[in-house]
Structure 1
Amino acid sequence: MTRAQLAGAVVTALAVACPGSRTRLRGSFATGTADAFSDIDVEWVVPDGRVPACAADVRAVLERVRLVAAVRTSPDFFHSPQRRLLFVRFAGVSLFWRLDLALREASAVADPGPGDPAVHARDGEWSRPASALANALGAIKAVARGRSADAAGLLERGFARIGEPDTATGGWVDDVTRLSRATAAREPDLAPLAEETIALAAAELGA
Structure 2
Amino acid sequence: MARETDRAALAAEVCTALKRCCPGSSAEPTGSLASGKADSFSDIDIAWVVPDARFPDCLARGVEALGEVRPLDSVRSDPDFHRSDRRRLLFARFAGVPLFWRLDLDVRTASVADDPLYDAGNPAARAREDEWSRPASALANAVGAVKAAARKREDEARGLLDRGFARISEDDRATGDWAADVTRLAHAAALRDSALTDLAAQVIELAARHLGGSSA
Q: Equivalent residues in 2 for 1:105-184 (5 A)?
A: 105-108=109-112, 109-112=114-117, 114-184=120-190
Kindly provide the CA deviation profile for residues 78-100 of structure 1, in whole angstroms up to 9, marking residues without a partner as x. 11120100000000010000000
RMSD: 1.2
Structure 2: gaps (5+ residues): none
Sequence identity percentage: 57
Question: What residue identity is the alignment partner of 1:46?
Answer: V
| 4+ runs deviating over 3 angstroms | none
SS at match of 1:149: helix
Q: Distance in 2 between matches of 1:124 and 1:26?
A: 31
TM-score by length of 2: 0.93
Q: Distance in 2 between matches of 1:73 and 1:57?
A: 15
Equivalent in the alignment of 2:20: 16
Partners of 2:93 and 2:101 within 8 A in 1: yes
Q: Distance in 1 between matches of 2:39 and 2:99?
A: 14
Partners of 2:70 and 2:95 within 8 A in 1: yes
Kindly provide the CA deviation profile for residues 104-154 of structure 1, in whole angstroms up to 9, marking residues without a partner as x. 110114312524211111211100000000000000000011101110110
Kindly provide the CA deviation profile for residues 50-79 of structure 1, in whole angstroms up to 9, marking residues without a partner as x. 222222223210122111111000001111
SS at match of 1:121: coil
Q: Distance in 2 between matches of 1:115 and 1:4?
A: 32
Q: Distance in 1 between matches of 2:82 and 2:32?
A: 25
Structure 1: gaps (5+ residues): none
Q: What is the count of residue pairs matched by the alignment?
A: 207
Q: Which moved more, 1:175-184 or 1:110-119?
A: 110-119
Question: Structure 1 residue 57 and structure 2 residue 56: aligned?
Answer: no
TM-score by length of 1: 0.97
SS at match of 2:47: strand
1:93 to 90, 97, 106: 97
Q: Distance in 2 between matches of 1:58 and 1:127?
A: 21
